[in-house]
Amino acid sequence: MALRFSELDFPRPTRERLALRFGQVSTLLDQDRRADALMLFDTIRRDYESWSAMTDLRFSQDTTSAANREERDYADSLTPYVTAFEVAIKRRLLDDPDQQAVGAALSPHTLELWRTDITTFDSRIADALEEEARLSGEYTALIASARLSIGGEIVNLSGLAPYAESTDRATREQAERVRWEFFATNGPQLDTLFDRLVHVRADMATALGYDAYTALAYRRMRRVDYGPQDVARFREEVRTHVVPLVQRILERRRATMGWECLYSWDEPLIDPMGNPRPIGGHDVLVRQAQVMFDRMGGDLGPFYRQMREGGFLDLQNREGKAGGGFCTSFPTVGMPFIFANFNGTQHDINVFTHEMGHAYQNWKSRGLPAVDLLWPTMDAAEINSMALEFLTWPHMDLMVAQGEAERFRQMHLIGSLSFLPYGVCVDHFQHEIYARPDMTPAQRHDLWREMERRYLPWRDYGGIAHPSAGGRWQAQGHIYRSPFYYIDYALALCCALQFWQRSRADQDRALRDYVALCERGGSAPFTDLVRQAGLTSPFQPGALEETVREAARYLNIALPGE
């Protein structure tokens, strides 16, 4: 019988029930029954993560529901409680005198992840973790509450996108002004929220013995194979190789359109003829995607059919729904779920293929032996999502109007290249923020402008007050909710672009390599998964150089010095 999302029901855990179940794990360890203990430990974590994922999803689907918010708050209150049990059991197994037996039951990578996990929690920070989650939820609800008037419509922030990509320059400017009016109005509250988050995180780091939150954040992200210095070198690679290409792309666009100056509201119009849009609305795209994945072969088509027919997709934008897109999963049943906000722009295709990449990877690795391995760390996970965006290129004739597929491909490549400088800008900003947690809100805004001048030197807000004064970062939810989880996109994009290069030479081989990477799930750290896929590490000097050259050739743009 096919699994249906509407029929999923995960029992609501209680503190008493959790204490009993984790206590059973300890009892089994007391009896030297490690295999049974590990099996029960994994089962408990799968059960809890499935319920927690459903709770977060329900809140995202309707942030206005008091019941959803109450359940989300309850989940936030349980998180430190559960983490304390998990860390205690992991520490006990890592301290087990018979490490040979432990090593026989767990992979070396799992043990390395656990060694990292036990350094990120202590009961002293339990209240701080709950407060961090509460503040993050407050940000999500505030952003979802936006009601913006434009073109005779009332839209949320996601609904602004069609106006922001309009071929009419005045409409694009209006969309930009409406957007930033919302953030200007809520700017003081957003500053206060972020200040509290920064100090909560800095205090957690101090309590755990770290000099600054950055080191703790890297461990919370389970980055076991690289550190801030590696990331700093990568940022310079982007600045050296990508920024000049993006500048030339934007200058060509300005000249083609005959604009005296290119403003921030001109950047979303990537194609001077108008950004190619999806061939139809939600129902059409969902049907066309089935044809596309069937055409790609293997089990992509059958898997997507399970997702579609089982109701594991929520793609339509609506009032009260959280912004953005994500993929979550329910490890007890081995099925992921895709959440997005279609708005009638090319973004619908990009976000859908992106989240489908996450979903497919999670499904392919669902049989791995431990819950820790079902997802890679987020840097590697984003390779799976971004690579599928490029691997669907040959089938874009199904997703856009006749004759627009090549224009879509060029737009997608330009958008990807343009993202890299922004991605490293966000990352550098966060490194500076947490190195100096006592900065005032004004200093943080000044810092953002400094970062923009470094990585986005073309950015001109045309006098719109809030972003011109450095408030652009407040629209980037990751900075609030998932600190340091933004460089992952840039690192992964460096690898995904290599899949693009590979697919241009041999599409079948590229797809086989991609499926193999998905099957590995989180069985190894980022740099090992990159190596196993035959990709060049983003941390290797010149990692972006050849990709930039090929992209420039594809776009028929001369690089500086050529």
For 451-460, how does the pLDDT look when each residue is reduced to its tens digit (9 = 90+)? 999 999 999 9
Q: How far apart are CA 334 and CA 340, in angstroms?
A: 20
Computed from CA positions of residues 323, 326, 329, 334, in that sequence, does the dihedral angle turn out positive or negative? positive
pLDDT digits (tens, 9 = 90+) for 458-498: 999 999 999 999 999 999 999 999 999 999 999 999 999 99
Q: How far apart are CA 541 and CA 301, in angstroms?
A: 38
- Retrieve residue 547's tokens: 């990709």
**Whether residue 532 has pLDDT greater than 80:** yes
Confidence of residue 1 (pLDDT cuts 50, 70, 90): low
536 domain-assigned:
no
56 domain-assigned:
yes
149 by DSSP, 3-state: which? Answer: strand
Domain that includes residue 47, residue range: 5-124
pLDDT digits (tens, 9 = 90+) for 210-243: 999 999 999 999 999 999 999 999 999 999 999 9
153 domain-assigned:
no
98 domain-assigned:
yes
Residue 438, class by beta-carbon neighbours within 10 Å (0-12 exposed, 13-18 middle, 19+ buried)?
exposed
120 domain-assigned:
yes
Confidence of residue 300 (pLDDT cuts 50, 70, 90): very high
215 domain-assigned:
no
Is the distance from CB of 169 to CB of 108 less than 8 angstroms?
A: no
Q: What is the CA radius of gyration of the chain?
A: 23
79 by DSSP, 3-state: which? Answer: helix
β-sheet bridge partners, residue 329: 336
How many domains does the chain contain in total?
1
pLDDT digits (tens, 9 = 90+) for 354-397: 999 999 999 999 999 999 999 999 999 999 999 999 999 999 99
- Considering the entire predicted model, what is its pTM? 0.94
Computed from CA positions of residues 183, 184, 188, 189, in that sequence, does the dihedral angle turn out positive or negative? negative
457 domain-assigned:
no
**Whether residue 99 has pLDDT greater than 90:** no
Token pair 């954040």 is at which residue?
Answer: 217
Is the distance from CB of 29 to CB of 102 less than 8 angstroms?
A: no
337 by DSSP, 3-state: which? Answer: strand
69 domain-assigned:
yes
pLDDT of 196 reads: 98
Token pair 């009892």 is at which residue?
Answer: 27
- Retrieve residue 362's tokens: 């999670």
Mean pLDDT of all residues belonging to the chain = 96
**Amino acid letter, 246:** V
Is the distance from CB of 343 to CB of 332 less than 8 angstroms?
A: no
Taking CA atoms, 248 is separated from 96, 264, 279, 456, 543, in Å, by 59, 16, 30, 12, 20
> What mean pLDDT do residues 115-144 have?
94
